[in-house]
Structure 1
Amino acid sequence: MLPKVNQTLFIQINSIDEEEAKQEYKSRIADVSDTYISMEVPMNDKSGKLKRLYPGDELSVYFITEGGVKNYFFSSVLGFSDDVIRLVLIKKPDPESITKVQRRNFLRVPAILEIAVKFSEQLQFVSLTDDVGGGGISFLCEGYVPVESGHTVECWLLVPFKNGQIEHVPFKGEIVRVKELETGKKQVMMRFSEITDRDRQKIIRYCFERQLDFRKR
């Protein structure tokens, strides 16, 4: 399903500036053509300031449909239109590239991905996940690591895609459960407590690619 005229788009900008990348903007769709979407200049909800965009800016976008479903897609700024008011023209997504996610029911898939975990300046290590999803992950660690439910840790996840692209996804996670395994290792389950929508979308995209692989087997 493609977004429609008058729907609200929620936008984050792919920026090397970490603070800028966390900001979320809102915009209303003015028109939809065969190749682009015209939208009003995005506004930061918290500050009320308009966001100036430039041709080539890469955007992470979602719109909400019935039932609270978030529809995620990537886009980029193509140019501008100055009829009655200034509009921003962004690339129209391929319907098949839009991922639909119910916030309370994020897709989760088995996956062995490299993850860097930082408990403190003194305790940092690299491990492997055993499943990932849009709402959280689980990973394995050595039995001596003092992990407990309620701890919040900083993580960096390495996410590979089918096209060969590899993304680094930073986030903070809250440990919700720790299970001791017969091997002597621990399985640590956590939910995302701080993650940008753009980075969450990367994980969701990976999960959908993995799910398609499972269906083909």
Structure 2
Amino acid sequence: MLQQGDIFFGRTVINHAAFEFTSSLLNRQINPLPVWTIALPYNIKKIQQRAFVRIDVAILVQIRAINADEMLDDTIINASTKDISGGGVQIVTGHKWPIGTKLMVTIHYPQIGSLTLKSEVVRVFQPQYELAVFWVGIRFLEIAEKDRGNIIKFIFKKQLEQRRKGWE
């Protein structure tokens, strides 16, 4: 049990973002509810909670929506990735799908080739309200581990290239 004045490390989630911090216990009470009063936190750090490393890179993608019968829509939307990971992509597009929309996403990875993956829209953000441009977060629903491994290798290679450019 912490005593008054003890320093501790904490973690909290605010608006789907996780943070670690250091603080100290000012006071605690048990009744009627357990409550800790803590000092203003310091050494606050946002922590990455993603299962896969993500990297900013622009790659051509083609997207087709899947209807309720798992049939592909005839409309193909061309877009570009904003970032990629082994678990999904974020694309930049003028098209806004509702969260939960199922998609077939074809990504044209350099050195890997094209991968077509069943996916789902998990996030939609409009960075500038005056422009009809959306950042759409897409999670891969079905992906072979071999393909995921190739994507992760591609990401690590891109990270190495970016670091080398930073050293020059």
TM-score (norm 1): 0.47
Match of 1:148 among 77, 98, 104: 98
Match of 2:136 in 1: 188
Question: Once the 2 structures are TM-superposed, how far is the Cα of residue 200 of structure 1 from its aligned partner?
Answer: 1.1
Question: What SS does the aligned partner of 1:122 have?
Answer: coil
How large is the RMSD of aligned CA atoms in angstroms?
A: 1.8
In the TM superposition, what are the counterparts of 1:100-179 in structure 2 within 5 Å? 105-119=51-65, 120-142=72-94, 145-161=95-111, 166-179=112-125
Structure with max Cα Rg: 2
Question: Once the 2 structures are TM-superposed, how far is the Cα of residue 113 of structure 1 from its aligned partner?
Answer: 0.2
CA distance in 2, matches of 1:209, 1:181: 29
Question: What SS does the aligned partner of 1:211 have?
Answer: helix
CA distance in 1, matches of 2:90, 2:150: 17
Whether 1:210 aligns to 2:158 is yes
Runs of 4 or more consecutive aligned structure 1 residues displaced over 4 Å after TM superposition: none
Question: Once the 2 structures are TM-superposed, how far is the Cα of residue 146 of structure 1 from its aligned partner?
Answer: 4.2
Runs of 5+ unmatched residues, structure 1: 1-103
Identity %: 27
Is the contact made by 2:53 and 2:85 (CA closer than 8 Å) also made in structure 1?
Answer: yes
Aligned residues: 109
CA distance in 1, matches of 2:124, 2:156: 27
CA distance in 2, matches of 1:160, 1:148: 29
CA distance in 1, matches of 2:106, 2:118: 9
Match of 2:148 among 200, 209, 213: 200
Runs of 5+ unmatched residues, structure 2: 1-49, 66-71
Question: What SS does the aligned partner of 2:77 have?
Answer: strand
Is the contact made by 2:96 and 2:134 (CA closer than 8 Å) also made in structure 1?
Answer: no
In the TM superposition, what are the counterparts of 1:70-85 in structure 2 within 5 Å? none
Question: What SS does the aligned partner of 1:173 have?
Answer: strand
Is the contact made by 2:96 and 2:124 (CA closer than 8 Å) also made in structure 1?
Answer: no
CA distance in 1, matches of 2:162, 2:114: 24
Question: Once the 2 structures are TM-superposed, how far is the Cα of residue 121 of structure 1 from its aligned partner?
Answer: 2.1
CA distance in 1, matches of 2:122, 2:145: 21
CA distance in 1, matches of 2:58, 2:163: 18
Question: What SS does the aligned partner of 2:162 have?
Answer: helix
